[in-house]
Amino acid sequence: MVVSPEEAARNLLEVVPLITRDLRSEMRNQSSTDLTVVQFRSLAFVDRNAGASLLEVANHLGLTPPSTSRIVNVLIARGMMTREDHPADRRRVMLTVTNRGQKILEVSRRGTLTYLSNKIKELSAADRETIAIAMKTLQPIFTNTIGTIAGAK
């Protein structure tokens, strides 16, 4: 079966919001972490990119720096993240996930992974393999796109 780029894009546009909505709902149900999806994504990004700036987090999330600043401030107030001045540029801050934030992030990751695994386990092994291949194929295409798009605004 040959699928045009437009048809593949249409499928993504239909399915990705459904997955996102489902994950948001599940994360709201995970009372043990009390993280929103955007808080989770912020923590996960800073965890992978220790010392990241507010602008880098904003670009990753596709949000404005003021919106991202409010999200980060909540995470800092809850003891999940710290903010330090950059040693070479006082206008820039460096963000780091605290030990508490790492623990909460791990609990949230485990819960979400279990949730997704339970949904996907009903699929055939061949379908699960197709999903794994598709995700590995899509990841490099979108990895640098968010920063590029947000930075171009």
The mean per-residue pLDDT over the stretch 37-53 comes to 92
Q: Is 15 left (phi over 0), alpha (psi -120 to 50) or beta?
A: alpha
Burial of 135 (0-12, 13-18, 19+ CB in 10 A): exposed
Confidence of residue 150 (pLDDT cuts 50, 70, 90): very low
CATH 2.40.30.10 is right for the domain spanning 35-152: no
pLDDT (tens digit per residue) in 82-123: 999 878 877 788 999 999 999 999 988 888 889 999 999 999
User: Which helix (DSSP H) or strand (DSSP E) does residue 58 occupy?
Assistant: helix 54-61
Enter the tokens of residue 141: 């295409």
The mean per-residue pLDDT over the stretch 76-85 comes to 94
Tell me how far apart the alpha carbons of residues 62 and 150 are, in angstroms, rounded to a whole number.
6
**Helix orientation angle between 37-48 and 5-29, rounded to the nearest 10 degrees:** 100
Q: CA end-to-end span of the chain, whole Å?
A: 38
Tell me how far apart the alpha carbons of residues 120 and 112 are, in angstroms, rounded to a whole number.
12
Residue 63: pLDDT over 80: yes
Tell me how far apart the alpha carbons of residues 3 and 21 are, in angstroms, rounded to a whole number.
26
Q: What is the pLDDT of residue 31?
A: 61
